[in-house]
Amino acid sequence: MTAAYTLYAKPGFSATTIERLCSEARISNRAFYECFGGREELLQALHERCVEESLVVVAKALQDAPNTLEGRISAGVRSYMEFATADWRRARIMHLEVRRSGDVLATSRQRAVASFARLVEEASADFPPTPGIDRHLLALGVIGALQELLIEWILAENPVELDELIGVAVHICVRALGTS
């Protein structure tokens, strides 16, 4: 798993062969196949572990956040972005390789988006929604915005400071989820 965590992040899933994984991990191909059905199954396990860990971090931050919409949004966004970017490999697997892998992670990605959408909906449930706007669709929209911001940050030659990125993300979420 450790070798895949690094190799799937860079050079990436499509460039990483079973042989390279096994060589890096210092295991035989046979030992690999005793644990995983293929490199796709390993990528899915890594992605799901990253998602589960981040959901725990965000849920805890939301639980401890001030009981205001902006307080919850700020706490949730900051905790997610700090967690996702604390390890470059995690950021790349969760936001780049999840898309680059094609259909390999499609189901896992949809489950992750649904889980994060539930968190957003629950965090904003105590506050009045914008009239006529579906809260679930708003949750999906802000999740998409956060993903795009993180992809831009990951790929940038000179990325902005994380606090600036978080500030933009919080602004987008507050504007989207607050009443107008």
Asked if residue 2 belongs to a domain, the reply is no
Structure confidence at residue 21 (pLDDT): 95
Between CA 95 and CA 146 the distance in angstroms is 10
Asked if residue 68 belongs to a domain, the reply is yes
Mean pLDDT over the full length of the chain: 93
Between CA 79 and CA 61 the distance in angstroms is 6
Asked if residue 128 belongs to a domain, the reply is yes
For the ranges 50-54, 76-80, 99-103, 146-150, which has the lowest average pLDDT? 99-103
- For 61, 105, 112, 133, 147, the CA distances from 95, given in Å and listed in that order, are 21, 11, 11, 27, 6
Asked if residue 22 belongs to a domain, the reply is no
For the ranges 13-17, 111-115, 124-128, 147-151, which has the lowest average pLDDT? 124-128
Mean pLDDT value across residues 23-34: 94
Asked if residue 48 belongs to a domain, the reply is yes
Half-sphere exposure (Cβ direction) of 104: Cα atoms closer than 13 Å: 23
Domain that holds residue 153: 40-177
Asked if residue 17 belongs to a domain, the reply is no
Count the domains in the chain. 1
Q: Is the pLDDT of residue 20 over 90?
A: yes
CATH code: domain of residue 160: 1.10.357.10
Asked if residue 8 belongs to a domain, the reply is no
User: By percentage, how much of the chain surpasses pLDDT 90?
Assistant: 85
> Confidence band (pLDDT; 50, 70, 90) for 127?
confident
Q: Is the pLDDT of residue 101 over 90?
A: no
Asked if residue 155 belongs to a domain, the reply is yes
Contact 117, 77 (CB under 8 A): no
Sign of CA dihedral 43, 44, 47, 49: negative
Mean pLDDT value across residues 102-113: 91
